[in-house]
């Protein structure tokens, strides 16, 4: 799980013309660049990370979106197949380190190497991590289906955060590989590009989510419908990884069963 190599840094945002291309101004703080935003993604100019991912993906370059919500989390890079544990550590803003979560997970018998093949295990783990981080009044649950739905989108717009298992492509975006490249992401925001009318689901390519995961320092923007399809396609463990000599722990019924990952995700409210 999560053994695909890190993706290279993303290309610079698109240049629309010589007079309207965004540029970075010199700064002594490499982690907080100062941008000359011009008129590209001006609506997102108060948050450099949000601006950069929207500019790179050509999302609402000149007009503000219909609706959006972004919860800021800092990236944490994973070591080994610990993508789910790192995503959970990001969720609590590093208050409980990924290494500490790994030790807990091993003691509970959920993992050998850091792999997490059960959303139900992840929910039990989250309860312990919230206790250690002294986070109270957080409402969370395992959802069966409904990732791309009116209800989930509205909750994201209200500030909810998700932990979502999916199949990761070479650049870590959602793909369909039957679970052979299973990975975890922290979904920390949503953007609805245009007025969807009566239903968000009526325009599948109109809704994107903002995500972080343990293989990149950069914020990602993914089509929510594609992430949903990837989540629903987690049927089986990779035969190649099964033969790598490592011991993995699976829930009863495997990755694709009711105790596994397929068509399931976790939702958190009140963070």
Average pLDDT over residues 242-249: 85
- Check whether 160 has a pLDDT greater than 50: yes
Rounded Cα–Cα distance for residues 51 and 46 (Å): 8
Find the range with the poorest average confidence among 95-104, 167-176, 225-234, 242-251.
Answer: 242-251
pLDDT band at 27 (very low <50, low <70, confident <90, very high): very low
Smallest CA-to-CA distance from 150 within 189, 229, 203 is with: 203
125-142 confidence digits (pLDDT tens): 999 999 999 998 899 999
pLDDT band at 245 (very low <50, low <70, confident <90, very high): confident
- Check whether 3 has a pLDDT greater than 80: no
188-229 confidence digits (pLDDT tens): 999 999 999 989 988 889 999 999 999 999 999 999 999 999
Token pair listed for 177: 């590989």
Which residues make Cβ contacts (< 8 Å) with residue 38, sequence separation at least 6?
A: 20, 21, 22
Smallest CA-to-CA distance from 68 within 146, 185, 166, 156 is with: 156
Contact (CB, 8 A) for 35 and 41: no
pLDDT band at 26 (very low <50, low <70, confident <90, very high): very low
pLDDT band at 25 (very low <50, low <70, confident <90, very high): very low
Q: What is the DSSP string of 209-259?
A: EEEE-TT-SS-EEEEHHHHHHHHTT--S--HHHHTSS------TT-TTSTT
CB count within 10 Å of CB 236 equals 17
Smallest CA-to-CA distance from 163 within 137, 194, 129 is with: 129
Domains and CATH numbers, the chain: 14-27+34-64 (no CATH), 83-269 (3.90.70)
- Catalytic residues, by residue number, are 83
Burial of 61 (0-12, 13-18, 19+ CB in 10 A): middle
Supply the pLDDT for residue 121: 97
Average pLDDT over residues 18-45: 54
Which residues make Cβ contacts (< 8 Å) with residue 58, sequence separation at least 6?
A: 14
Which residues make Cβ contacts (< 8 Å) with residue 267, sequence separation at least 6?
A: 140, 141, 143, 152, 155, 160, 161, 162
- Check whether 235 has a pLDDT greater than 90: yes
Supply the pLDDT for residue 38: 66
Choice between 58 and 35, residue whose per-residue pLDDT is larger: 58
- At what angle are helices 98-107 and 83-91 packed, to 10 degrees? 120
Supply the pLDDT for residue 109: 94
- φ/ψ of 216, rounded to 5, equals -155, 150
């Amino acid at each position: 799980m999560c053994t695909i190599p890190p993706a290279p840094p993303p290309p610079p945002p698109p240049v629309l013309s010589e007079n309207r291309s965004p540029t970075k101004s010199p700064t002594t703080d490499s982690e907080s660049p100062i941008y000359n935003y011009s008129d590209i993604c001006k609506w997102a100019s108060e948050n450099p990370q949000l601006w950069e991912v929207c500019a790179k993906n050509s999302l609402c370059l000149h007009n503000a979106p219909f609706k959006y919500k972004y919860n800021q989390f800092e990236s944490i890079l994973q070591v080994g197949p610990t993508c789910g544990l790192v995503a959970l550590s990001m969720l609590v803003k590093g208050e409980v380190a990924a290494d500490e979560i790994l030790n807990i997970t091993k003691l509970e018998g959920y993992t050998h190497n850091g792999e997490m093949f059960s959303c139900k295990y992840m929910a039990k783990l989250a309860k312990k991590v919230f206790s250690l981080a002294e986070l109270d009044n957080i409402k969370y649950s395992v959802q069966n289906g409904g990732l791309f739905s009116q209800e989930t989108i509205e909750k994201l717009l209200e500030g909810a955060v998700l932990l979502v298992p999916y199949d990761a492509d070479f650049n870590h975006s959602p793909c369909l590989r039957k679970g052979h490249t299973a990975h975890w992401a922290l979904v920390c925001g949503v953007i609805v590009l245009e007025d969807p009318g009566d239903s968000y689901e009526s325009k599948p390519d109109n809704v994107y989510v903002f995500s972080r995961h343990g293989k990149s320092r950069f914020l990602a923007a993914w089509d929510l419908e594609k992430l949903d399809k990837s989540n629903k396609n987690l049927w089986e463990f990779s035969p190649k990884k099964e033969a790598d000599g490592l011991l993995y722990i699976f829930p009863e019924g495997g990755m694709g069963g009711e105790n596994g990952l397929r068509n399931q995700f976790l939702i958190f409210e009140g963070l």
